[in-house]
Structure 1
């Protein structure tokens, strides 16, 4: 492991023993802002990667059009071919909708166009094949995930204690949790501190657009078409689909000294480089197409970090390996409380 990579993993200061009773506790600050500053100091040219990528909009148009065409073909077959809708959704539609979810993700960071409003509209466009409005709610809570990574009270990406206790320790429980990942994630919002600002003008615009699209699909293309789109959404973020392992890959950790993991496998080609997760957290203002270049520009900061090569293998490992539970996540709530200064500060580092 390189010196730089070692610096940003060993500094995590995680209490591994805590996983038996709860999350892996740490009082250290988030490593990504620290690594960002170090990379910019060592490689100032990385700044050239920061910006916008309008090509993402045209990719979105193509994928949404493709999903409508597939839905129309399946709708023409009739609801008697529901099994074909599910099969095609698992094999094709999930990958298309997952790519659109990555577009929604980049739109959250205003990495497509310069104006935030234009990014919101691209996010809503990418949300249409999901059959469920997600873009604007995700926009708010994902930004909180970056600013409060691993803080139980603010990070919706961290499983709730009841999830971990009921589903998180057995193979069957973890399989059920993975299949119903979408509603489990939605249920976490009630535990987060503060008000819920997602219920604003853009949330209602998002909902109106998706519902109107759903009604048009149902009336013009038939129920089997809508079933295909909903199944594509379901499998794209969970549903015991290999793509669902992306949520395990990102912050579930088999090494308590490293809380964010990358995926460097072939599915990044159709998943719009979402596997470059350390790179993304370090530089959320770098569009998805430039993340591999970021890694190439600063290899000493990334080459020594542990990563995953297979989402399918990780999914199986997560479900059947008892060392993986829903508690194998870092909780840095203490680092964000004024009464608990980071361990590095206490040590005078």
Structure 2
């Protein structure tokens, strides 16, 4: 224990990911599982309260000593900000307002993003959808570490450093590493986040901004609430690629520990994932799980069989996609939709077309009349 990692490559497999088959079998045997799909009615209020609490703490600590601000950022603000990143994860599956209101979900994810101080919501959704669709596929699943990470972070000290700085699911998105969607799609700027940062800076001061930004950086690195990054998909047995954790940390992380259940049915809100396991226990009780995130951390750092290479991986089914777009296109389109521009445009276009062709002699006018 504690020596250099023995792996020199990922765990390559020719099998399909297990979640789609298990989803089909459970849905056939328990059709009532569909009743769990949809919206968590309390979710949006919990997220709004978390955002409000962070703003309150910004006011509270603005004149406190820096050491206290640092401790607050790690133990309090970091915990809340990490939970907000997991809220953004849930919102990316449209569990806040439902599948029929995707744009509202997207704007709400931007609202939840405000205290995080770094815009992640839009890019996260783009790539997280493919993490589910192309789980562990080379170049398509951005959650899988790069070869450079696997080659370099091979000792306990280096793995500890990797955990401290990696910010796994949110910063491993550069186009030189993984699936590319064009520079603008990848870094589509959420202008409301910098505006909120400036509001905090000029209203409460730099300590309050550090509280938010520092809390985000600390809580997405070597922080108790971030250990789920390791527990979810790092293979501790070479046989299983997704693991669940059923401990008390789920109470403050929107049940992110129920990760096998989440990948089986991503449109079930986090609050209801325990109900899925209770409904179909025979499909989960026989699978390996984690009892402690602290044990996961210790195993990852000290076990020579575990490291960034300890991930099941498969060949990609599709080629990488490349395209670019206007950096503000999504926001302009959303704003125009909300003010009714497209409805008015379509109405005017239809009105002009009908009146023009009605006055034009020939078969077209006859057909309209």
- Unaligned 5+ runs, structure 1: 1-18, 339-349
Does residue 96 (structure 1) correspond to residue 80 (structure 2)? The answer is: yes
Secondary structure of 1:139's aligned partner: helix
Question: Could you tell me which of 3, 19, 24 is aligned with 1:37?
Answer: 24
User: Any conservation in 2 of the 1:60–1:125 contact (CA below 8 Å)?
Assistant: no
Shift of 1:198: 6.0
Aligned to 2:282: 300
User: Any conservation in 2 of the 1:137–1:198 contact (CA below 8 Å)?
Assistant: no
2 CA distance for matches of 1:139 and 1:198? Answer: 15
Secondary structure of 2:62's aligned partner: helix
User: Any conservation in 2 of the 1:86–1:228 contact (CA below 8 Å)?
Assistant: yes
TM-score, normalising length: structure 2:
0.80
Shift of 1:84: 1.3
User: Any conservation in 2 of the 1:178–1:244 contact (CA below 8 Å)?
Assistant: no
2 CA distance for matches of 1:120 and 1:236? Answer: 23
Shift of 1:99: 1.5
Shift of 1:187: 4.5
Aligned to 2:11: 24
- Trace 1:225-264 onto structure 2 (pairs within 5 A): 225-238=208-221, 240-264=222-246
User: Any conservation in 2 of the 1:95–1:271 contact (CA below 8 Å)?
Assistant: no
Secondary structure of 1:333's aligned partner: coil
2 CA distance for matches of 1:125 and 1:103? Answer: 11
Shift of 1:21: 2.3
Shift of 1:57: 1.0
User: Any conservation in 1 of the 2:143–2:172 contact (CA below 8 Å)?
Assistant: no
Secondary structure of 2:159's aligned partner: helix
Aligned to 1:140: 126
1 CA distance for matches of 2:172 and 2:133? Answer: 21
- Trace 1:59-74 onto structure 2 (pairs within 5 A): 59-74=46-61
Question: Could you tell me which of 133, 151, 165 is aligned with 1:180?
Answer: 165
2 CA distance for matches of 1:322 and 1:241? Answer: 22
Shift of 1:49: 0.2
Shift of 1:312: 2.1
TM-score, normalising length: structure 1:
0.85
Shift of 1:194: 4.2
Secondary structure of 2:286's aligned partner: coil
User: Any conservation in 1 of the 2:168–2:220 contact (CA below 8 Å)?
Assistant: no
The change in CA–CA distance for 1:38 and 1:90 in structure 2 (over 3 A counts) is: same
1:127-146 per-position Cα deviation (integer Å, ceiling 9, x unaligned): 11111000001010101101
State the 4+ residue runs in structure 1 displaced beyond 6 angstroms.
none
Secondary structure of 2:9's aligned partner: coil
- Unaligned 5+ runs, structure 2: 1-5, 320-369
1:239-296 per-position Cα deviation (integer Å, ceiling 9, x unaligned): x112221110010011111110011110100111010000000000111111011110
User: Any conservation in 2 of the 1:177–1:184 contact (CA below 8 Å)?
Assistant: no
1 CA distance for matches of 2:161 and 2:244? Answer: 25
- Trace 1:1-349 onto structure 2 (pairs within 5 A): 20-77=7-64, 81-114=65-98, 115-167=101-153, 169-182=154-167, 186-190=171-175, 191-196=177-182, 199=185, 203-204=188-189, 207-238=190-221, 240-333=222-315, 336=317
Q: Which has the higher helix share?
A: 1
2 CA distance for matches of 1:312 and 1:241? Answer: 10
Count of aligned pairs? 311
2 CA distance for matches of 1:249 and 1:265? Answer: 12
1 CA distance for matches of 2:11 and 2:164? Answer: 25
Bigger radius of gyration: 2
